[in-house]
Amino acid sequence: MENKSQDNNIMKKISTFIVDKRQGFFLLFIVAIIYCIISIPKVSINNDITSYLPADSETRLGLNVMHKEFTTFGTASVMVANISYDQAEEISKKIKETKGVSSVDFDNSSKHFKSASALFDITFGGQEKDKISIDAMSEIRKMLSGYDFYVSSTVGADSAKDLAKEMTSVLIITVIIVLGVLLFTSKTYMEIPVLIIVFAVAAVLNMGTNYLLGTISFITNAIAIVLQLALAIDYAVVLCHRYTEERETKEPREATIAALSKGAIEIGSSSLTAIVSLAALMFMQFRLGYDMGIVMIKAIVCSLVSVLLLMPGLLMLFHKGIDKTGHRNFVPAIGFIGKLANRTKYIVPLLFIPFLIVTFYLSRQTEFAFGQKDIPTIRQSETQIADQKIKKTFGQPNILAVVVPSGDYEKEGELLKALGKVKHVTAVTGLGNIKVSDYVLTDKLTPRMFAELTNMDINDTRLLYAAYSLEHEEYGYLVNEFNNRGVTLYEMFMYAYQKVQEGYVTLSSDTRENLDEIHKQLVMATKQLQGKNYSRMIIKLDLPEDSEETFEYLPTIRKVLSEFYKENTFLVGESINNHDLATSFEVDDVVITVLTLLFVVFVLLFTFKSAGLPILLVTTIQGSIWINFAIQALSHNRVHFLSYLIVSAIQMGATINYAIFITNRYLVAKKNMKISKAIGEAVNGAFPTIMTSGSILSSTGILIALLSSDPVISGVGNCLGRGTIISIFLVLFVLPQILLLGDIIIEKTRFTLQADTYQKVQSGNVRLNGHIRGYVSGMINANIKGDLKGKIDAVIDSQNTSIEHIDETESTAQEEKNQDET
């Protein structure tokens, strides 16, 4: 009792300091807001999701090499529907003539013309973010404006910007919903502006402090503010409701101090469960989890700081308006749930156990996606629609890049031939099979063959070959079989072009034009396929990008590679990326599930000081997660693995609070009444807070699912919205029965060193049974049993003492019975 009194005194002193120094806190928040507003535009946003892959993953290693060694030109697949082949040929010519277009692949095969639809594979003269590529893409769109066309390309597209627009729409609608919910669940109208100010400040603080992190992903940047609103608004609601309760009997200052001192621990415990759940994301191998975890934890902390340090001052500032705008309670009483819990306390838990086993099994059957192209979303972007149209008509190409050490053109040519014979490989491109006239770039040409190809004079060609041999110190060729000297087309051509540019060789205008045209083709090929230390080859497969069949097939390609190169080879592509993600997911799934459970149980263990109670609460919420993904599995719709991991952590961290709200009230209420009545009081008392927070979180999730075209974020919204509704249902209609049936477990597993005691002030007709120390119309310290008509102000042993009201008629009847016995 002394420890609790000391704790209360400390909290009251801290609360008094915060309330009395509110002007100073206002100043600090103003300075912080100004800093954050300046910092927000400076936050660096990372649009490259692959940069969050583990550093030792094959995709990450291969991409690093490719960024250093090669140029990846912008490309586009453009489908024009409802046209003839002649029209398609005319369009192909116009696209080729467009400034900034390097090449267009189109022919009369079924790969490019099918079902009155033409597919043009376009390569631009610059990379996807270069102005020349963006301008060319814009011109092509204008050219095709009169046709039914679909463009699949990242050139000129800004997915981060599009996602930000979608999430802005979500945020606006969410704010409207929040206002509606708060109007319904609030006790005074003026508390709503206070809540909005607190959230706005917390959001600005979080967005501004992202600058301190250096760089955050575009997914985290887009979704953080919406999730912050949904997850943290109930902290402010709890404090606001505490204030209005205290204001009924206290002046504004004292009511604010009392509300803060009583609500801080509840708010702190609630936020801690969310923080530890989000912390589990930070242990993912896929570092996007760390990025989202750290930003969302910071969001919770910013909300917590704003509620505890700013909101008390705002309550004092607006207290007159809060007093004048009170309204009747719109939240209905739900006493029937307590009655239902008592009637079904032996049935529901026994049915819930096998139900959990079934849903656990079904949830493990959830189909996960590791790419984003094959995940359906309710709202689709222009690129997603184009991808689906092209896939339906021409199929979806699966492209892999093979990176090998450079320097041996013959070996590269042999590898290309070997890869071309492998099952499921439909096309292979590399320097070793790019054709120039009747030759490929790695063919060895004699002086005469080279002269015929380039229209150069044979004597000039021989001089070039001689100069080439001298520079490469191959003197033997100058005296032996010079005319049969073979040099690869690629090497000899680049050498000849260099000498022409330097003025050592003079050519006719026609020959020079021919040389320039071939050089242009070679430069494009070289930039894409030939690096200083590595060569790149492109493979096309007839397998899906994201499937178990493809993952099992990849070792076949690696086996062929190993026959030619023992090390320093890389496979890069969507299928490789998806396979890397699938591999890391196997570990991340276990890590997040185990750590989330351990962290939450640890917090609950020291919150309730009972070993059994945390297990009951976590089982209920974990059950809601299993049910959530069992439904997902039964729908046979794939969910992105990242959506699953994020929702698993957030659903546990956010909705465990609903169970905590009911449990807290139940433990307090059962000290004064039977557990059968206490559960009804607990559910009825916690219902407004649960519905406020739950309706906001679930509606936010549903909105995200409806309005976002990003498969990961849409999946988060869909699963989170559904999961929150399931959690609310279980907390209201299953948890009460579990608490009633498991009450003996709760009490038997308590590890407090002394029985809980509390100060009780009671007057009127009461029935006493147990140990009481204090004033009962006079000092008493004894075990007593009987009825009292008077006043109690005493310390109560809550485990061994019961005090309950009795009505006047029952008291009178008991007195008459006692007199008769006397």
Domains with residue ranges and CATH for the chain: 1-42+159-328 (1.20.1640.10), 71-157 (3.30.70.100), 450-519 (no CATH), 755-821 (no CATH)
Cβ atoms 404, 561 nearer than 8 A: yes
The per-residue pLDDT for 785 is 64
Nearest Cα to 545, choosing from 582, 591, 592?
582
How many percent of the chain have pLDDT more than 90? Answer: 33
Tokens of 540: 């096309």
Q: Is 68 exposed, middle or buried (0-12, 13-18, 19+ CB in 10 A)?
A: exposed
Least confident range of 13-17, 134-138, 442-446, 622-626: 442-446
Residue carrying the six token digits 């814009």: 138
Helices (H), 405-532: 409-420, 447-454, 458-471, 489-502, 509-529
Nearest Cα to 416, choosing from 440, 391, 439?
440
The per-residue pLDDT for 149 is 93
pLDDT one-digit tens code per residue, 331-348 = 777 888 989 999 999 999
In this structure, the chain runs to a length of: 822
The per-residue pLDDT for 808 is 53
Contacts of 625 (CB under 8 A, 6+ apart): 363, 647, 648, 651, 652, 723
Q: What is the DSSP string of 351-387?
A: HHHHHHHHHHHHHTTPPEESSSTT---SS--HHHHHH
Cβ atoms 709, 634 nearer than 8 A: no
Per-residue b/e over 235-263, b at no fewer than 16 CB within 10 Å?
bbbbbbbbbbbbbeeeebeebbbbbbbbb
pLDDT one-digit tens code per residue, 33-69 = 999 999 999 999 888 888 888 888 888 888 888 889 8
Question: What value does the mean pLDDT take over residues 773-788?
Answer: 56
Nearest-5° Cα angle at 674, 668 to 679 = 60
Residue 806 pLDDT exceeds 80: no
Residue 812 pLDDT exceeds 60: no
The per-residue pLDDT for 792 is 56
CA distance 41 to 207: 9
pTM for the whole thing?
0.80
* Element housing 602 (H / E): helix 574-608
Question: What value does the mean pLDDT take over residues 283-301?
Answer: 91
Q: What is the DSSP letter of 541?
A: E
User: pLDDT: is 204 or 653 the higher one?
Assistant: 204
Question: What value does the mean pLDDT take over residues 561-575?
Answer: 90
User: pLDDT: is 744 or 796 the higher one?
Assistant: 744
CA distance 667 to 654: 21
First to last CA, the chain: 40
Residue 817 pLDDT exceeds 70: no
Average pLDDT of the chain, as a whole number = 84
Q: HEC states along 92-127?
A: HHHHHCCCCEEEEECCCCCCCEECCEEEEEEEECCC
Q: What is the DSSP letter of 326?
A: B
CA distance 317 to 26: 11
Helix (H, G, I), strand (E, B) or coil at 750: strand
Question: What value does the mean pLDDT take over residues 104-123?
Answer: 91
pLDDT band at 561 (very low <50, low <70, confident <90, very high): very high
CA distance 175 to 196: 9
pLDDT one-digit tens code per residue, 301-335 = 999 999 999 999 999 999 999 888 887 777 777 88
Q: How far is CA 14 from CA 21, 264, 308, 625, 690, in A?
A: 11, 10, 11, 38, 28
User: pLDDT: is 750 or 100 the higher one?
Assistant: 100
pLDDT band at 721 (very low <50, low <70, confident <90, very high): very high
Residue 631 pLDDT exceeds 90: yes
User: pLDDT: is 781 or 726 the higher one?
Assistant: 726
Question: What value does the mean pLDDT take over residues 191-207?
Answer: 91
Contacts of 812 (CB under 8 A, 6+ apart): none
The per-residue pLDDT for 606 is 80
Question: What value does the mean pLDDT take over residues 538-552?
Answer: 91
Residue 185 pLDDT exceeds 90: no
The per-residue pLDDT for 31 is 96
pLDDT band at 119 (very low <50, low <70, confident <90, very high): very high
